[in-house]
Amino acid sequence: MATLLVQDISLAFGDRDILDGVSFSLDHTSRTALAGANGSGKSTLMKILAAQMSADVYNVVTSADLRISYLPQGDIVFKEATLYEETERAFDRFLPLIAEQHALEEDLQHEASQSKILRLGTIHEILEEQHYYRRRPIIEGVLYGLGFGPSDLDRRCETFSGGWQMRIALAKILIEKPQIMLLDEPTNYLDIEARFWLKNYLKVYEGGVMLVSHDQGFLDETVNEVFELFDGKLTRYSGNYSSYLTQRQAQIAALEAEQRAQALLFEKNEQFIERFRYKASKSRQVQSRIKMLQKIEQVNIPPHLRELSFSFSPAPPSGRDVVVIEDLSKRYGPITVYDHFSLWINRGDRIAVTGRNGVGKSTLLRIIAGEDPHYEGRLVLGSKVSIGYFSQETGSTLNDRNTILEEASEAASSEDQSRVRNLLGSFLFEGDDVFKHVGVLSGGEKSRLALLKVLLKPVNLLILDEPTNHLDINAKRMLLKALASWDGTMIFVSHDAYFIEALATKVLYLNEGEQPLLYPGGYQELLTILEQKEAISPTLSSQSIAPKEGLLSYKEANQRKNRITVLRREEEACLASHENLAKAIDGVQQEMALKENYSDGERITALIKEKERLEQQLHQAELAWLALVDERELLEREVAGA
């Protein structure tokens, strides 16, 4: 079994502990999300595990020949090869075996040797088991799943843009099939179809995965544990990302109560110290209280889990028909983007525009926003319609000489001026950061500020092109909550399934070479189509590459159906056990939050041990449930194929 056992990773920059005694384990079954605030050390930890960065302390135990592959967030450029040639290099680890095979074959032509014949047979078995001779369909399957087309295979890598370069890097890692993959924001450059495909791929992947992602829906579908980094420490939470948030919410409530009690304690003692500081008869008590306060470790709430809030000004009234598009045609030279396309947008609609990259999503938004007048057909805005438009280029319109605070204040109404700093904090500009000049901000930071400026203006039609691209999960949830409670009309581009599902009342799906399709049932109606469209080909799953010998007999099919019924009952029993253990863990956590317990060293130690014991049981219950689900789904596929 492939295992990575981290016993201690520590790293400090100056007087700040980035990683402080971090310990955990990963194996070939791991499905782990790495969570934490921006700058908490997530990418640093991955780089250390991938041997791309050194640590002050690094104690690790690995199984023999463990292969780890790492996908960074960006800055990868491939050159001097075609797309197919570059991704085929994922099989380069077999080149020494190929060279040895050729040498053995050459030797055996001159002299028979039993040992060489046996070694040659072993090499053939390894290459066959690792699908070396069938690498082309595997490579093509991964590339097509990530959005490349057949015509891209012979394109030079340097002709692809930055986002597609990252897809090449991701494709190589998936094709390499390491025992453990470390993926830092793998969905950043993927459209919704590629995200669905990757989600399905990871579900059947036969190795361990550690993910950093700001796509909550993607994490909920792909992980069963969360490692949180905070103040250099790592804490494990069982369950998917939503389960982690629920568990943390209870802990945050306890921390907030403790923080309030601590603040009151400080206030009372500081009042005493200030009152009697210069009174000789009280000097001993004053010094005692000063020392006591100095020893108290202040309660800190993780910034990435603080409840953020943002609200819109009410939308000014508009007519019932907000946008009417009739016979819209749009071309770029010989390329037709839209051909006699019509769409009616009514007041209160929230339309998500989605589809693969390059099919015209941003183009449609620019046309509706009046940014692109070069089209044929008719587009009419309704009565009293006022537009707020955000795109990834909006950040370039900011005044570089302004501070962040000045730039936001210019857009805010008089009613919002008093809360501009709080609103900036919700968009990840905190403390003294608001006094930075816009000119020194990164592209992502400018994009966040530009989005806030758009949202501060009172409008009744919001046109948003990838509004969540540079927001972390907490900020996304804040934005989603604000948009969901807003009473205006909205059309937005997003590849974030969680965001679309929670917000969209209708989905406009664009597919190259076809007329756009409007799904009035929203995300759930589109979901069925995407799940079928982005299902993983059996040739990509090593456990099912070989074709079936034949159809199941009637008797075999019945045996499998009976087994499926048994497995379903066992799954339900496992889930019931899972729920009971989760409740028990919650009970222990509530006990740990009580002052009389956390102030009692012996009692809190016992509670911590009990929590760890229950979490281990929960982990085993989850593994058992997953094994049952895997067996049942495999049998169901076999029965369906019969």
Q: Which runs of E-coded beta strand occur in 356-453? A: 376-381, 387-390
- According to DSSP, the β-strands at 506-510 and 517-519 are antiparallel
Cα 46 to Cα 24, 205, 305: the distances in Å are 13, 20, 22
Task: For domain 3-244, give its CATH number from 3.40.50.2000, 3.40.50.300, 3.40.50.150, 3.30.43.10.
Answer: 3.40.50.300
Q: For the CA atoms of 306, 430, 475, 455, what is the dihedral angle to 10 degrees?
A: 130
- The 8-class DSSP code of residue 206 comes to S
Give the 3-state DSSP-derived string for 58-119, with helices as H, strands as E and coil as C: EEEEECCCCCEEEECCCCCCCCCCEHHHHHHHHHHHHHHHHHHHHHHHHHHHHCCCHHHHHH
Cα 393 to Cα 315, 332, 453, 628: the distances in Å are 25, 20, 14, 48
The CA-CA-CA angle for residues 401, 404, 405, to 5°, reads: 115
pLDDT > 90: percent of the chain: 35
Locus of tokens 């009690």: 261
Q: Which runs of E-coded beta strand occur in 501-578? A: 506-510, 517-519
Q: How far apart are CA 145 and CA 44, in angstroms?
A: 29
pLDDT at 547: 33
Locus of tokens 């409007």: 518
For residue 593, with 0-12 CB atoms within 10 Å meaning exposed, 13-18 middle and 19 or more buried, which class applies?
middle
Locus of tokens 């691209």: 469
Q: How far apart are CA 346 and CA 323, in angstroms?
A: 7
Give me the CATH topology for the region 551-641.
Helix Hairpins (1.10.287)
3 state DSSP class of 191 = coil
Number of H helices, E strands in the chain: 20, 18
**b/e per residue 393-417 (b: at least 16 CB within 10 A):** ebbeebeeebebbebbbebbeeebe
Whether 334 and 507 have beta carbons less than 8 Å apart is answered as no
pLDDT at 549: 39
pLDDT at 550: 40
Q: Which runs of E-coded beta strand occur in 485-567? A: 489-493, 506-510, 517-519
Give the 3-state DSSP-derived string for 249-318, with helices as H, strands as E and coil as C: HHHHHHHHHHHHHHHHHHHHHHHHHHHHCCCHHHHHHHHHHHHHHHHCCCCCCCHHHCCCCCCCCCCCCC
**Amino acid letter, 199:** K
Whether 228 and 302 have beta carbons less than 8 Å apart is answered as yes
Whether 364 and 353 have beta carbons less than 8 Å apart is answered as yes
pLDDT at 97: 92
pLDDT at 546: 34
pLDDT at 557: 56
Give me the CATH topology for the region 321-533.
Rossmann fold (3.40.50)
**Amino acid letter, 381:** L
Whether 322 and 345 have beta carbons less than 8 Å apart is answered as yes
- What are the structural domain ranges in the chain? 3-244, 245-305, 321-533, 551-641
Bridge partners (DSSP) listed for residue 235: 228
**b/e per residue 316-344 (b: at least 16 CB within 10 A):** eebeeebbebeebebeeeeeebbeebebe
Nearest to 510 by CA among 262, 337, 270: 337
Whether 468 and 476 have beta carbons less than 8 Å apart is answered as yes
pLDDT digits (tens, 9 = 90+) for 237-246: 999 999 998 8
Q: Per this entry, what is the length of the chain?
A: 642
pLDDT at 555: 44
Locus of tokens 């589809």: 355
pLDDT at 552: 47
Instruction: State the sign of the Cα–Cα–Cα–Cα dihedral 422, 428, 431, 433.
Output: negative
pLDDT at 422: 81
Nearest to 256 by CA among 309, 302, 301: 301
- Cβ atoms within 10 Å of 61's Cβ, excluding its own: 10
pLDDT digits (tens, 9 = 90+) for 372-418: 999 999 999 999 999 999 987 887 888 999 999 999 888 887 777 77
Nearest to 205 by CA among 185, 183, 227: 183
Give the 3-state DSSP-derived string for 210-248, with helices as H, strands as E and coil as C: EEECCCHHHHHHHCCEEEEEECCEEEEEECCHHHHHHHH
pLDDT at 208: 94
Do 3-244 and 321-533 come out as alike in CATH topology? Answer: yes
pLDDT at 46: 95
In this prediction, the residues of the chain whose per-residue pLDDT falls under 50 are: 541-555
* Residues 6 or more apart whose Cβ sits within 8 Å of residue 260: none
Q: How far apart are CA 538 and CA 546, in angstroms?
A: 9
